[in-house]
Structure 1
C-alpha cells in the first residue's frame, strides 16, 4: 500500500479548511476597508504604520499583533484597514518579520505640523525644548528616552540665575522620564500637568490595550522589566515610580504662555508665574480639551473624558459630542445599570463615526436605554440640572454629571506665539 495517498487524503481537508479560513478573513478585511473609506475613517489621526508593499510577504503578523485591529491582509499584503482606530504604539512594526513597516506622521492628503528640533531636542528658540509625541515621537519607549536625553542637555544650560532650572510641561512618558532625570541631576524643576492624572495620551487609550512593546530605561529607576504591556499595568507601574521616588507633579496646572526674558523665560500657568532657565514641552498632540463655554462648566461634575462607566451607575449623565469618543462614552454609560444617559450633538446627523458605534447607539436608543438629541446645544450647567436648547426649545433635565467629548485644541498656535517653527509632515517619519 502506498501510504503517500493516505497522507494526501488526510491533508486535503486541512488544506481546504485553511483556504476557507483565509478567504473568509480576506473578505472580512476587504469589507472593513471599504466601510472605512465610505465613512471617511481612512485617515489616521496621528502616528501610524506605512507598509512597504514590495517587501511585505503577507504573513499577517502585524494584523495579529495590532490590538485595535487597524491592520488587515488584502490581496496578500498588509493594509491599514481601520486607520481611525490606530494609536501608533508600534506593535505592528515590532511584529513584522521582514521589517516592511515604518511609523510616520501625516499622509499625502493631510499633513501634520511637527516642531523643528535639533538632535539635542532644542527648538529654534534657544532654551525651549520639545520631546515625545509633540515632537513626532509617539512610541512610548522612544518618548521616555527623549525626555531623559533632553534633560542631559538642559543640565548644561543651567546657570543658577533663575528660580527654576527647567519647567517641564506635560506628564506623559516623556515628562515623567524628564522629571526623574531632573531629580537625578539635582536640578530645580517644576513638572506641571493640565489634567488630574499622569500618563498623557496613554491614559486615554482604550481599556486593556497594549501600550508599549519594548523595555525602557528611566533615570533613578533603571530598566523597566517588561516588554509588551497593557495600559492599566503601565499606568500602575508609573504611579508606583512616582510614589517610590517622591517625584512631585503639579496636577490641574495648565501652561498659558511662555515669554522670553533675558537669560530665561517667564512661564505663566493657571496657578502662577515662574522664571525658568529652560522650558521642556512634553505635551501630547491631543491638546487642551475643547470646552463648551457655557455658565456652570467650571463645576467639578464636568469632565472631558470617560474613564470608568461604573462610577456613574444610577446617575443622570449628559454626554456632549458627535464623534466616536462621544458615541462610545454614551454607549458604555447606557450599558451601565441604572444610568440615565442623554447624548447631545449640535448637528442634525452623526458623520465620520464607525458604523458599529452608530448601530449600537441606535439599538440602545430604540430600547429606551438612552436619549439622542441632535440639533441641540447646552445652555447652562446647574448643580443638579442642565439646560439644553433642543431644536429651538429650551428644556431642563436632572443631571449628576456632564462628559464633554468635543475634541481638543492643538498646542500649535501657542508654540508659534513663542516663536517655535514647524514643518509639515506628509507621510514622513
Structure 2
C-alpha cells in the first residue's frame, strides 16, 4: 500500500480524497466513528467559521445559517465519505508506527498494516489538560461537555474561559443549572466567539452566572470544591465540575514514531511546511496536530490545503521512483 492516513477527521478525509484523485493507494484508520472529534463536540455547538471555510475538496457545504452547527457538519463529512466510497476503517485504534527499510508498519487494535508513507492527522481533542488537583478523578468531574440537560437544577462549576467553557456555562444556565465559572486569568478569553462574549459578560455582570477571576481550583470533593481566589481560599457547594481547560496532542505517540519536538513549552513537531514531511522520511503531519501546544494556530480552514501539499509530494516521489534506472 502507498499510504496509511491516521485519523478520519476533516483533514484525514481531505487526504483520502486527494490520494484517490492521484491514484495513490490508501487506507484511513479512525479510532471512532467518522469525524470522531466532531461527533464528541457539544450537541448544540455552532462553529466559529462559516460553512464555506469548512469545505474540503471544493465540495459545497450548505447550512441553514452562515455558521453551521455540529449536526450539519457531521452530515456534510459523512456524506463525503460515503458518496466517494473512501477506504476508511472505523473503530480501529492505532497503537504504534515503526519505520523499516521498506516503509512503515502501523499496528492497530485489529492487526497490522504495511505502507510506504504515513500521514498523522489525529488532531488534539483526545487528551485534556489536567488540573492536577485532588478529586479530579471523581465521577462528578468531566473534561468534555455534551448536553446541558444533564446539569439542570444542579450546582455546576465550569473551569476555563475559552469558547467551550463559555458555551457550556451559558447553555447550562439557560437549562436551569446554578453556574459558577472559575477563571485563571483576569477576564473571559479574548478568542471567545464575538457574538457570544457579550452574552457571557452580561450574564456575569447581572449576577446570573457567578465568576471568580484570577482563581483556580485546589481541591474537588463529593459535595464541594475548594478554590484559591485573590481574597483567599473559598469552599463552594458543588454537584458537578466541567473542567474545560483545553486539550493537547498525543506527544508520546509522535515521539514514539520518531518525530522530533521543540524543547520549549510549545512542543512544536518538526516538519517541512512546503511538503508537511517530518524529520522521518515518508511520515507526514496534517491538520491541527502541526501546532503542538499552540492548539489555536491551526483549524480546518487553514490546514485543509495540507492534503494537497502532502499528496503532491508523495505522488512526485512515486513518479520519480518509477523512472527508468530507479528501483
Query: Which of the five TM-score ranges fits, normalised by the shorter chain?
Result: 0.5 to 0.7
Q: Which residue of 2 aligns with 1:211?
A: 51
Instruction: Give the Cα–Cα distance (whole angstroms) in 2 for the partners of residues 238 and 266 of structure 1.
Output: 28
- State whether residues 183 and 213 of structure 2, in contact with CA within 8 Å, keep that contact through their aligned partners in structure 1: yes
Give the alignment partner of residue 178 of structure 2, picking from 327, 337, 340: 340
- State whether residues 312 and 339 of structure 1, in contact with CA within 8 Å, keep that contact through their aligned partners in structure 2: yes
Report the CA distance between 1:344 and its aligned residue. Answer: 0.9
Report the CA distance between 1:343 and its aligned residue. Answer: 0.6
Q: Which residue of 2 aligns with 1:422?
A: 271
Distance 1:191 1:276, change over 3 A: farther
- State whether residues 347 and 375 of structure 1, in contact with CA within 8 Å, keep that contact through their aligned partners in structure 2: yes
Q: Tell me, which stretches of 5 or more residues in structure 1 are unaligned?
A: 1-154, 158-165, 218-222
Report the CA distance between 1:247 and its aligned residue. Answer: 4.9
Instruction: Give the Cα–Cα distance (whole angstroms) in 1 for the partners of residues 95 and 54 of structure 2.
Output: 34
Q: Which residue of 1 aligns with 2:90?
A: 249
- State whether residues 164 and 244 of structure 2, in contact with CA within 8 Å, keep that contact through their aligned partners in structure 1: yes
**1:87-124: per-residue Cα shift (whole Å, max 9, x none)?**
xxxxxxxxxxxxxxxxxxxxxxxxxxxxxxxxxxxxxx
Distance 1:194 1:372, change over 3 A: farther
Instruction: Give the Cα–Cα distance (whole angstroms) in 1 for the partners of residues 91 and 104 of structure 2.
Output: 19
Tell me whether 1:156 sits opposite 2:5 in the alignment: no
Instruction: Give the Cα–Cα distance (whole angstroms) in 1 for the partners of residues 183 and 248 of structure 2.
Output: 18
Tell me whether 1:315 sits opposite 2:154 in the alignment: yes
Within 5 A, what are the aligned runs for 1:2-401?
155-156=1-2, 166=4, 168-176=5-13, 190-192=29-31, 197-199=36-38, 206=46, 210-212=50-52, 226-229=60-63, 230-231=68-69, 232-239=71-78, 247-250=88-91, 258-265=97-104, 276-277=114-115, 278-284=117-123, 288-298=127-137, 302-334=141-173, 336-350=174-188, 352=190, 359-381=198-220, 384-391=222-229, 392-393=232-233, 395-400=235-240
Q: Indicate the structure with greater strand content.
A: 1
Instruction: Give the Cα–Cα distance (whole angstroms) in 1 for the partners of residues 198 and 24 of structure 2.
Output: 54
- State whether residues 379 and 388 of structure 1, in contact with CA within 8 Å, keep that contact through their aligned partners in structure 2: yes
Report the CA distance between 1:304 and its aligned residue. Answer: 4.1
Report the CA distance between 1:319 and its aligned residue. Answer: 1.3
Q: Please give the TM-score of this superposition, normalised by the length of structure 2.
A: 0.54
- State whether residues 306 and 329 of structure 1, in contact with CA within 8 Å, keep that contact through their aligned partners in structure 2: yes
Distance 1:346 1:274, change over 3 A: farther
- State whether residues 184 and 214 of structure 2, in contact with CA within 8 Å, keep that contact through their aligned partners in structure 1: yes
Report the CA distance between 1:262 and its aligned residue. Answer: 4.8
Instruction: Give the Cα–Cα distance (whole angstroms) in 1 for the partners of residues 16 and 142 of structure 2.
Output: 27
SS of residue paired to 2:74: helix
- State whether residues 179 and 210 of structure 2, in contact with CA within 8 Å, keep that contact through their aligned partners in structure 1: yes
SS of residue paired to 1:338: coil
Instruction: Give the Cα–Cα distance (whole angstroms) in 2 for the partners of residues 308 and 393 of structure 1.
Output: 31
Report the CA distance between 1:341 and its aligned residue. Answer: 0.9
Instruction: Give the Cα–Cα distance (whole angstroms) in 2 for the partners of residues 272 and 408 of structure 1.
Output: 27
Instruction: Give the Cα–Cα distance (whole angstroms) in 2 for the partners of residues 353 and 175 of structure 1.
Output: 26
Distance 1:275 1:293, change over 3 A: farther
- State whether residues 215 and 227 of structure 2, in contact with CA within 8 Å, keep that contact through their aligned partners in structure 1: yes
Distance 1:410 1:332, change over 3 A: same
- State whether residues 201 and 284 of structure 1, in contact with CA within 8 Å, keep that contact through their aligned partners in structure 2: no
Alpha-carbon RMSD across the aligned residues, in angstroms, is 5.1
SS of residue paired to 1:331: helix
- State whether residues 317 and 340 of structure 1, in contact with CA within 8 Å, keep that contact through their aligned partners in structure 2: yes
How many residue pairs are counted as aligned between the two chains? 253
SS of residue paired to 1:326: helix
